[in-house]
């Protein structure tokens, strides 16, 4: 009899678990079942807009290639900020590089600089909740921290609405934007696995209204004021906890040591010799709500690709295409003149793959040349991918062993 009751209890628990799982899965699938079409408004704005036209520009820029340099340039912007620092990131961890950024932010807040930090609500729930290092920063009087779309199992239709932005703005004049999150995998030269990514550093000492730094500021403010962005432990009393005091002291000591080791470069505020003049910098983004999004970015990138004369390069840590994206590439490849010469270059850095597909000749002579540069994958001799020009699967042979992110 007792065994029978235990079985009933287990069945009830299992039924509840299955119901919850079905609810979560249904909520996610239904919400994102259909991809919204590109609206006529977006098409008209893209066609009539000046976002892709070159003009006189006061902004200078440089690509940040290496992880140690990416960490130093972030600390450099934070250290030299006088009024405000904005940091938006998908993931922020309290490992070595994360602590250095936290220490730099805490030091800036002590100088009277206003800090605003925006982190995705899913990753923050894992990395920041109960963490004294983040409590030490959030309890500072000059710091505001918000989480975008906090994880809520009662609203599964919002779970996939994540914020993958990664940028740092200093005093509304300089910013770093790219693909690096804020922890060791992306920043610094600490032990463990590394991610090979890129950022761009943009400098504009006298910003004008149309400059990209103002576009980025406006974009940030829109997300910051959204109802899906909520404060993270806005409680100044947290600073009185012993664990938080010890964490802040550790952050201060670690940051001071790093600063002394790199003082000359961090204190240098002249970016002229290390940046390049630009003709035009324009930022594009998809809608910022948590539901299915109109593919504004891909549409605008497609319009840019249509203007290419010889080559299209796509640099991404990974690429997952749907039919709309394949069709865009195919239309671009087929829309050229008789002297057809088009290159499509796909750089996949995170997954040790660099594929170069070159299309030459006229429409009647569609030959593809494929070259691979990357780490040799054990047991791998070829790769089967879909040919974006024909829609068919093609076999790509793999060559080379040296991985070089500069290519």
- Look at residue 273 and give its three-state secondary structure: helix
Listing DSSP states for 365-397 in one string gives --EEEEEE-SPPPTT--EEEEE-TTTSSEEEEE
Give yes or no: residues 238 and 137 share one domain. Answer: yes
- What is the extent of the structural domain holding 108? 60-277
Q: Which of 255, 277, 299 is the last residue of a domain?
A: 277
- The reply to whether 27 falls in a domain is no
Strand partners, 145: 117
- The reply to whether 407 falls in a domain is no
- The reply to whether 11 falls in a domain is no
Q: State the Cα–Cα distance between residues 171 and 400, nearest whole angstrom.
A: 45
How many structural domains comprise the chain? 2
Give yes or no: residues 93 and 157 share one domain. Answer: yes
Listing DSSP states for 128-193 in one string gives TTT-HHHHHHHTSTTEEEEEES---TT-GGGTT------EEEETTTEEEEES--BSTTTSSS-SS-
Q: State the Cα–Cα distance between residues 64 and 176, nearest whole angstrom.
A: 9
- The reply to whether 127 falls in a domain is yes
Give yes or no: residues 230 and 138 share one domain. Answer: yes
Give yes or no: residues 110 and 214 share one domain. Answer: yes
Give yes or no: residues 69 and 193 share one domain. Answer: yes
**60-64 and 84-89 beta bridge pairing:** unpaired
- Look at residue 398 and give its three-state secondary structure: coil
Give yes or no: residues 245 and 360 share one domain. Answer: no
- Look at residue 84 and give its three-state secondary structure: strand
Nearest to 235 by CA among 227, 226, 244: 244
133 touches 251 (CB < 8 A): yes
13 touches 21 (CB < 8 A): no
Tell me the CATH number at 243.
3.30.870.10
Tokens of 171: 């005093």
Q: The pTM is what?
A: 0.79
Q: State the Cα–Cα distance between residues 209 and 204, nearest whole angstrom.
A: 12
- The reply to whether 390 falls in a domain is yes
- The reply to whether 406 falls in a domain is no
Nearest to 294 by CA among 118, 43, 27: 43
CA 384 from centre of chain: 28
Give yes or no: residues 113 and 260 share one domain. Answer: yes
- The reply to whether 271 falls in a domain is yes
Give yes or no: residues 65 and 205 share one domain. Answer: yes
Give the CA dihedral 175, 181, 186, 189, nearest 10 degrees: 70
- The reply to whether 50 falls in a domain is no
- Look at residue 227 and give its three-state secondary structure: coil
Task: Write out the chain's pLDDT in tens, 407 residues.
Answer: 667 777 877 888 888 888 877 777 777 677 777 778 888 888 888 877 666 666 677 899 999 999 999 999 999 999 999 999 999 999 999 999 999 999 999 999 999 999 999 999 887 888 899 999 999 999 999 999 999 988 777 777 777 788 889 999 999 999 999 999 999 999 999 988 888 788 999 999 887 777 889 999 999 999 999 988 999 988 888 888 999 999 999 999 999 999 999 999 999 989 999 999 988 888 888 888 888 888 888 888 888 888 777 777 777 767 777 888 888 877 777 765 433 344 555 444 433 333 333 333 333 333 333 333 333 333 333 343 444 444 444 333 333 333 333 33
């Amino acid at each position: 009899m007792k065994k029978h009751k235990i079985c009933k209890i287990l069945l009830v628990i299992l039924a509840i678990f299955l119901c919850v799982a079905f609810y979560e899965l249904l909520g996610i699938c239904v919400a994102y079942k259909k991809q919204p079409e590109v609206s006529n408004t977006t098409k008209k704005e893209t066609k009539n807009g000046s976002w892709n036209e070159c003009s006189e520009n006061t902004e200078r820029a440089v690509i940040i290639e290496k992880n140690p340099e990416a960490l130093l340039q972030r600390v450099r912007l934070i250290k030299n900020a006088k009024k405000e620092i904005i940091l938006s990131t998908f993931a922020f961890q309290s490992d070595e590089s994360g602590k250095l950024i936290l220490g730099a932010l805490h030091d800036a807040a002590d100088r009277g600089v206003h800090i605003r930090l925006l982190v995705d609500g899913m990753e923050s729930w894992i990395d920041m909740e109960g963490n004294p290092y983040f409590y030490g920063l959030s309890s500072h009087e000059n710091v505001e921290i918000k989480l975008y779309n906090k994880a809520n199992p009662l609203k599964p239709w919002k779970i996939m609405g994540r914020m993958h932005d990664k940028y740092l703005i200093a005093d509304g004049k300089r910013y770093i934007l790219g693909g690096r999150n804020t922890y060791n995998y992306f920043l610094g030269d600490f032990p463990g696995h590394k991610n090979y990514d890129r950022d761009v550093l943009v400098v504009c000492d006298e910003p004008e209204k149309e400059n990209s730094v103002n576009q980025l500021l406006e974009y940030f403010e829109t997300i910051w004021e959204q109802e899906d962005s909520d404060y993270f432990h806005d409680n100044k009393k947290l600073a009185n906890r012993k664990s938080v005091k010890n964490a802040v002291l550790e952050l201060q000591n670690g940051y001071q040591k790093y600063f002394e080791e790199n003082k000359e470069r961090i204190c240098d505020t002249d970016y002229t010799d290390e940046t390049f003049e630009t003709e035009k910098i324009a930022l594009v983004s998809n809608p910022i709500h948590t539901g299915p999004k109109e593919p504004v970015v891909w549409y605008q990138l497609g319009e840019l690709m249509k203007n290419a004369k010889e080559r299209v390069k796509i640099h991404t840590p990974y690429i997952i295409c749907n039919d709309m994206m394949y069709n865009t590439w195919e239309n671009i490849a087929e829309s050229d003149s008789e002297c057809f010469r088009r290159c499509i270059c796909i750089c996949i850095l995170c997954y040790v793959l660099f594929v170069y597909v070159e299309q030459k000749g006229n429409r009647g002579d569609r030959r593809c040349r494929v070259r691979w540069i990357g780490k040799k994958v054990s047991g791998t001799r070829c790769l089967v991918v879909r040919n974006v020009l024909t829609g068919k699967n093609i076999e790509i042979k793999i060559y080379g062993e040296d991985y070089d992110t500069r290519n």
